Structure 1
């Protein structure tokens, strides 16, 4: 009798173990963000790209300091700006702060972005510095250049954002409020022109650094065709006054194919992206 019970228990344990192994060996679900998130969090190529941009930023900063006519805010900078004190404007997310841990959390939990979970991530102060960002902002600060951060993080996250960045060692602005958050004032929407205008009232903006077209131009939430036209009209500024950090994980590029309409089901959003891609015809017979 005891032998039979032991044999039965052994069989049950064997089944449980084998089913657990099978589940462990199951492939994770497909997710559109996997490759881009892997690249931004793990690839040395990404780190090299970011370091290259911020190395160029130092060169451009020195050029701009020597050229009083230089401005990175052509639409907002008013006349007689040449003798204003210098400043630079940087976006925060994926420009100076790496939030890939939030992206990974969404991947592993099959979640999409929500303000609720994003604000909790901000409160955790788990973001790290983008390679080269801290060194560049410190360099600008030593040159007497005021470092402003214009971000679409909500105003409710400002304290957590400040604390996160202070711990990492970013310049905090001293007695000047250098953190301009979305919604901090009624007119401060996702488009950043109104906030750039606040900076240009008192400063000559030397550089603008971001990861999304909207960090530079308020025409970012338009069609792909109109975005391309706007980009072309800004051509003189790219690589000079405006420097772009690569971010393949999210942004207005990702939503332009489906008209930035987040109410559309995911399948429709994905189909819209497929439909705009241009393919090779394939090998000829």
Structure 2
């Protein structure tokens, strides 16, 4: 039997994101999300989580969006905000101690809010870049938490057997922007077969309703709302719910 986590990133980004995640969990196949401790929707997300104890919530470690929680992390910033993603897409240097302290502060803020995290991942996958991997490994060991396994040194932490990075394409109606070359129907049928294997899986997605924060602040917009409906109403979602060879879980179960 396949044990499958459907995880939506960016919980806490904004109210619109939060509500999209909650609906995909309450009415669809979403089981898990990861929380951004430094973003404006954090307190709202914490309140919503308090009403839904079964929703798995990890920490979405952030180094590319908004402002750091700490003031003494100058190597992580451009002006008052985190460096943009482009900073990490080339040769870069940050102080590893500063990154550790900032990410640790984000994790601790989640704990202080009354949420015991299920796992760690990162916004824009920055935990996978260079020496950032060593930082996330150290934090995973400190808190005894699994980590999303899309990085070279995953053998040093607990993780699922397989991570599926391309599920976002189900919400993108523009063929030219998709990461997969095959049709969506072929991709979904292949994924469904894969999820029946006797392994643990994480399927990453980005569910949200659109608000000004997303419209003005994100380059990934309209596929998010399409994903909410897909996670709830699609035949794929109904198949996942009814398939006795697939068990929906959270990272707490691995």
TM norm structure 2: 0.35
User: Which of structures 1 and 2 has the bigger CA Rg?
Assistant: 1
- Per chain length, whose mean CA-contact separation is higher, i.e. which structure has more relative contact order (CA < 8 Å, sep 6+)? 2
